[in-house]
Amino acid sequence: MPNPPRPRAATLAATALLVAATLAGCGGDSQDEDLSAQKLNWKDCPAPSRAEGGGDAPSPLPGGAEWQCATLKAPLDWAKPKGDRIDIALIRAKASGAESKRIGSLVFNFGGPGGSGVTTLPAFGSDYAKLRTRYDLVSFDPRGVGRSAPVECLNDPQLDVYFEQDATPDDAAERATLLADTKEFNAACEENSKKMLPHVRTTDAARDMDLMRQVLGDGKLYYFGISYGTELGGVYAHLFPKHVGRAVFDAVVDPTQNSEQGSLGQAEGFQLALDNFAEDCTSQPTDCPVGDTAQDVRNRIAKLLADLDQHPLPGIGQRVLTQTAATNGIAQALYSKDFWAYLTEGLQQAYEGDGRVLMLLSDSLNGRSENGEYSNLTAANIAISCADNKPRYTAADVERELPAFRAASPLFGDFMAWSMVSCTDWAVAGAADHPDVSAAGSAPILVVGNTGDPATPYEGARKMVQALGKGVGVELTYKGQGHGSYDSKNKCVQDAVNGYLLTGKVPAAGTVCS
């Protein structure tokens, strides 16, 4: 999931912050060993940590194959490779086919930034059964995420309040509150994770992946990047073009956009997905329970959100469904067509005064488990984004651009525009306006764009192909709905991706699947 729309709202003023955090795995003495020669100690996986989202240890794959976990040592600061170390958490399922047919390790990044690959890969592992015939399936928690020296900002009660606040201010007082709360959140990140914040850029994670490639014993990196994982893959290809083996980018980030342009593109993308949901619901033979026409669906949602701005609904436990939480919940349901039924149910309930389903969807987006614990998804998402992105926007910048955002999306425009102030008071300067993914000399990279993708709009695939450079990016289009293409189960897409990763056969540029 890509920089999802998130509230940039409050923390609890004057409450205790998390115990000064912790840089797991960092030592103070320099070390001289060659990290590329380290041996991984693979063993049974533990249950996910709180920062990874909690829950149970991963279940075996169909057929009984067990997941194994290990820890990779990497430099805290790649400019000082013999300095302090951090731990990078890895997970794998070994290849199911004959050793003679094994190609290597296929490394996955599922996006965010801030998503735990150690917990996500097992959740979808059976979807990649065909790829596992010739690859070990491998994923990892990128630095700053999950069990890999996680960035920490606020504690769980503080985050509950943070996610209830008004992320779309309507007047000067609300605007001042939003900016103060954002500043307080960012100060908490600096207090609790000061040592880590300068070292969570995508370029750092790309260097970790090249170390991972070497330690896994592969001469080339075989890679499957989804959403933000396409940006990470593009940066890797730029830094190490000769090390790219076979790579697939799915749900593609536009690497030519700055953070404002990316936010505007997401506003357009989520509005498109909402329009598609409304059209689908009202075109069914049975009545659509949330509106008579597509425009009626949109109007009723807009009225619901306007009402929630003044009068939140009962949610879960003592928490209430605010306008911000409802917008988050709607956005989460638009990530996949499979979730549209939940959106319909959530809207029906909300119209009747019950906010539980929309709040559950919002909690899912924000990384909150049923027991009230949060993963570090939000902290890592903001830390990585702010370390990567150079622009720092003021309230005046947002006010100036609001008309464009509202034109892009009457529903999500304000929300996405105000999210741009998240990095305004960040402790670390951003690296660049946008990532450099030019990769002359790289092997072909298959770039898959979905015409109905809300979070990484379809146009980003073409921009990625162009930015990778002549002879590198190969574009494939999926005419579908939801975030990403491979997990849609579309046979045309899966055959093309599997064919390239398993045999090296590159599909014809411009191939269209529907």
Q: Tell me which residues are annotated as active site.
A: 227, 453, 483
Q: Give the H or E element holding residue 398.
A: helix 395-408
d(CA 208, CA 424): 28
d(CA 373, CA 247): 35
Nearest to 224 by CA among 214, 209, 204, 207: 209
Nearest to 232 by CA among 116, 136, 108, 148: 108
d(CA 441, CA 188): 43
Ramachandran area for residue 272 (φ above 0: left; ψ -120 to 50: alpha; else beta):
alpha
Nearest to 383 by CA among 150, 117, 148, 210: 150
> Encoding tokens for residue 373?
């614990």
Nearest to 237 by CA among 215, 206, 200, 202: 206
d(CA 192, CA 89): 21
d(CA 2, CA 419): 14
Identity at 282, one-letter amino acid code: T
Nearest to 388 by CA among 107, 114, 147: 114
d(CA 407, CA 388): 28
Contact 418, 447 (CB under 8 A): no
SS3 6: coil
Identity at 314, one-letter amino acid code: P
Buried (b) or exposed (e) across 326-337, using 16+ Cβ within 10 A?
bbbbbbbbbbbb
Q: In Å, how far are 263, 282, 325, 376 from 366, measured between CA atoms?
A: 18, 30, 10, 9
Q: Which residue has the tokens 């379809």?
A: 458
Helices (H), 128-201: 129-132, 156-162, 172-193
CB atoms near residue 16 (< 10 Å): 9
Identity at 374, one-letter amino acid code: Y
Buried (b) or exposed (e) across 53-90, using 16+ Cβ within 10 A?
bbeeebeebeeebebbbbbbbbbbebeebebbbbbbbb
Contacts of 464 (CB under 8 A, 6+ apart): 230, 234, 249, 252, 253, 254, 255, 437, 447, 473
